[in-house]
Structure 1
Amino acid sequence: MSTQSPGAGPVPAAELARATAKVMARLLPFLLLMYVLAFLDRANVGFAKKVFQADTGIGDAAFALGAGIFFIGYALFEIPSNLIMHRVGARVWMCRIMVTWGLISAAMAFAHGETSFYILRFLLGVAEAGFFPGVILYITYWFPAHVRGRVMGFFYFGAPLAFIFGSPLSGLLLDLHGAAGLHGWQWMFLVEGLLASVVGVWAFWYLSNRPADATWLSDSEKAALISTLEAEDRHKQDHGPRGMLAALTNGRLLYLCAIYALIQMSVYGVVFYLPSQVAGLLGKQVGFEVGLVTAVPWICALAAAWFIPRYADRIGDRRRPAAVTLAAAGVGIAASALAGANGAPLLALLALCVAAAGFIAVQPLFWTFPTNYLGGVAAASGLAFVNSLGAVGGFVAPNVRTWAEGTFASTTAGLYLLAATTLLGALLILGLKGLGLTTAAPAPALHPSHQDA
């Protein structure tokens, strides 16, 4: 059976289904591994917070600035990095990104004061810039729009898995305090950073730049996949901005940027403080036991990242599930603060599970909106631009949280403020329908036996 791809000749549905299944099996596990290491290396500073501050004398405000300054370097170099990847291909550029960020993350073991902490966090952001939007762009090179929601949902397993496995690993490495004369936090930065560099070298040999380069696809599978993707890209360029300048000044894209910045405020306002928040709930120091408990909210996030995007794809509506999911995150953040303040640690942990599930699962749904709207160079620059402004949200969040706690003399004020900004993001998602950002190019009418490839 054949199907008509929009604007192209007939595409054999069976070949497209087989090609998509092969691409999922080949690329998604490796992209997931890369994201696990990326998220772990940017967020592991939260595990080291108390012991790192005790050993270096860095105060709370300086720690918040250093944690957030990562996103300044990240934001500044996002667009150039993505444009370079669009030109030279993912093999070379993903290798470069991972090797350099791994080495800089490992160098965090030698940060001994505010200045070195700021410099290394900034450089880590510069090195990692372009990784995430590069992967999102790479996904558009390989996966048709009708499966992209569940594909991105699988990719977003990376954040929960970074904490499910990375939390105990980070806690275990912190417990190595004194081994070979190093602090536990030094071991954590060294081991986790060098792991990223090793995987970066592997990426150079493993990744294929485009479907046309994939020796592991048959010629007919390549043809079906390329025809579908090219037709979708033509549709996006006909209905969206063309070129970098048109993308960066597009009002719809700026609206998406605002939503993503609010989502990232929710994520990093919680992530950087989650280990210490859980330690406070348990009345223990951050270590292996706290690492195990900290992994619990991410198990819930993993389940949500699997179920919610697939459900949204099945019902053909990503806007309303995304809004509800993000609203649940906001409620969870507020409830964790309330329960913690009232001496109910179990309820606080359950609320953190809801929060983590919400702000992780909403993101694969969110990314279907700009990827369905942008094509070509506009996609390379526009996706990076969205992620750049999201990075600004990641910078703002820990500093706003610290400011609110100091201004209102309350350890919960920052969480309540983040809950409010998260709910605002959910309201903005509901407004996407009026901007015409919830539809994609017409999907191929695949035979039912191939719908779930």
Structure 2
Amino acid sequence: MRERAVVNERAVIGKITRYLIPYLGIIYLIAYIDRQNVSYAKLQMVDALGLSEYAYGLGASLFFIGYFLFEVPSNIFLERFGAPRWFARIMLTWGAVTVALAYTQNTTMFYVLRFLLGVCEAGFFPGVLYLLTLWFPHEYRGRMVGSFMVFSAFANAIGAPIGGMLLDLDGYGGHQGWQWVFLVTGIPAMLMGIVTLFYLDGTPETSRILTPEEKRWLAERLANENNRLAKTSHVNPLKVLADGRVLLMSVFYIAFPLGAYGLSYWLPTIVKGFGVSNTVNGWINVIPWLMVALGLYYWPKLAVGARSSTPFIVGPALVGAACLILSVYVPSNTLRFAFLCIAAVAIFVPQPILWSIPSTFLSGASAAAGLAVINSVGNLGGFIAQNVIPWIRDASGSNTVPMLFLAACLAVGGLMTFVVQAVIRRHRVPGAAGTAGLTHPAQ
């Protein structure tokens, strides 16, 4: 009988990382630019279309409503049809809607297209998280999510100067600057949708880069991990909607998108108040996102091997809250911007570690649906950021109170980590699998 070939774990993980992470990261970079482009287009399109600040905020935030409503179905379809076809569909449709935004004629059309953008993109981010559970053992996922999310920081860094320069193309080729923002950022998504069909392998079993021995090793490693952690796998993945751990994590996660979108959507406007041009505004906004990229790369590495991931979530959240508060009380623009940069890093770096938590208790289609639930509910933080913050500013007549609101939400979210971890640990005590509905394949 032929002996099995010895598999080098580091070599296999390195091979998968080089194959998946740059590709998924580039798509995420495009997706993030297509989400954020409206914050730069806003600087001209509000006047061009006669939008009020409230109408802009509502339209921008309708993306999250479409995302919320279609996120879970999208991830279930991804699990059914496979990542290559479903990711291609997502990218082709969101690219087309982004291009269509360049030809927005009025407030109603703006509302409809922003909602459709959310519908089209729904499922991409949690779909990637689910894909990583199929390819990487748990101990590697925090670092992989961090490496993947680095591209969101690059998106902000790249999108900032591009957005500023495109605005300065105002009038070129018969298009206004804000129209160029949508045209130039929408086309890459459609191109990558086509590339996806030919490049991406949906599962390790169908992989063209792994040898049969490497596929067998990875399958056994993941199966043993699922058994050891006693993960939930429902026959009907929609049953995760009644899983208390998933619902708790959904509420827990809201604080982080709320802080991230509240800061990133309004940062160009804040910097514009410094009295700089559109192009200079874009280049200044590169700084915080390069800092975020460094944080996302190194922070998850520090968490590897730690006895508890909790300090790596709570600590940055509290630091971020403090910096948001300080940013509204310091006297100079330089100090204000410095605190906002630190706050941006502190809001983003806990998220890769946070996203490694659901895969400790969910697997299979339940993991796909559960990740989608958490992300869709959590991303309502973006809707809150776009509507509640302007309302607070108008009601209070102050730019200070909205930042204090963001800081309070971030601090509460960070402290909720203790509650989330305690609930998950309680479900893992001996005998809990049979009584807490933790995992029975027939469930």
TM, length-normalised to structure 2: 0.92
User: How many angstroms apart in 2 are the aligned matches of 1:112 and 1:412?
Assistant: 34
Q: Find the aligned partners of 2:362 and 2:403 in 1 and give their Cα distance.
A: 34
1:349 matched to 2:337? The reply is yes
SS in 1 for 2:208: coil
Question: Residues 275-326 of structure 1: CA distance to partner in whole angstroms, max 9, x if unpaired?
Answer: 111111x2124x2211010111111111110111110013243211111112
Give the structure 2 partner of residue 299 of structure 1.
Answer: 290
Match of 1:28 in 2: 21
Conservation of the 8 A alpha-carbon contact between 1:11 and 1:227: no
Instruction: State the 1:11 CA deviation.
Output: 9.8
Partner Cα distance (2:348, 2:421) in 1: 22
Unmatched segments (≥5 aa) in structure 1:
1-9, 441-453
Q: 1:99 to 1:421 in 2, by over 3 A?
A: same
Distance 1:122 1:13 in 2: 51
1:147-296 equivalences in 2 (<5 Å): 147-236=140-229, 238-240=230-232, 242=234, 243-280=236-273, 282-285=274-277, 287-296=278-287
Q: Could you say which residue in structure 2 is the equivalent of 1:443?
A: none
| 2:105 aligned counterpart, secondary structure | coil
Identify the residue that residue 392 of structure 2 maps to in structure 1. 404
Which residue of 376, 387, 395 corresponds with 1:388?
376
User: What is the alpha-carbon distance in structure 2 between the residues aligned to residue 253 and residue 11 of structure 1?
Assistant: 40
Structure 2 counterpart of 1:377, from 327, 341, 365: 365
Q: TM-score, normalised by structure 1?
A: 0.90
Q: Does 1:117 align with 2:110?
A: yes
Given that 1:101 and 1:124 are in contact with CA atoms closer than 8 Å, whether structure 2 keeps it comes out as yes
Aligned to 1:319: 310
2:432 corresponds to: none
Q: Is the 8 A contact 2:233 2:364 kept in 1?
A: no
State the alpha-carbon separation in 1 of the partners of residues 113 and 39 from structure 2: 15
Say whether residues 1:334 and 2:325 are aligned partners. yes
Task: Give the 3 Å change call, closer, same or farther, for CA 12–144 of structure 1 in structure 2.
Answer: farther
Contact kept, 8 Å, 2:7 with 2:213, in 1: the verdict is no
State yes or no: 1:42 paired with 2:42: no
Task: Quote the residue 2:441 is aligned against.
Answer: none
* Contact preservation (8 Å) 2:288, 2:341: yes
Q: CA RMSD in A?
A: 1.8
Q: Which residue of 2 aligns with 1:142?
A: 135
1:97 maps to 90
Is 1:52 the counterpart of 2:45? The answer is yes
Aligned equivalents of 1:186, 1:67: Cα separation in 2: 16
Q: 1:284 is aligned with what amino acid?
A: V
Instruction: Give the distance between the partners of 2:12 and 2:40, measured in 1 at CA.
Output: 41
User: Structure 2 CA distance, aligned partners of 1:182 and 1:315?
Assistant: 53
How has the CA–CA distance of structure 1 residues 89 and 301 changed in structure 2, closer, same or farther, with 3 Å as cutoff? same
Q: Deviations over 1:25-73 (max 9, x none)?
A: 1110001001101111011111111211011110111111011110000
For 1:369 and 1:12, the matched residues in 2 are separated by 33
Distance 2:141 2:231 in 1: 19
AA at the equivalent of 2:406: L
Q: Which residue does the alignment assign to 2:404?
A: 416
2:422 matched to which residue of 1? 434
Determine the C-alpha separation between the residues in 1 that align with 2:152 and 2:238.
32
Per-residue deviation at 1:405?
0.5
Q: Residues 221 and 373 (structure 1 numbering): CA distance in 2 closer, same or farther, change over 3 Å? A: same
Measured in 2, the distance between the counterparts of 1:437 and 1:186 equals 51
The whole-number CA distance in structure 2 between the counterparts of 1:240 and 1:11 is: 31
| Matched position secondary structure for 2:8 | helix
* Alpha-carbon contact 1:103-1:193 (below 8 Å) kept: yes
Unaligned runs of 5+ in 2: 429-443
Shift of 1:239: 4.1
CA separation in 1, counterparts of 2:5 and 2:217? 6
Q: SS state of the match for residue 263, structure 2?
A: helix
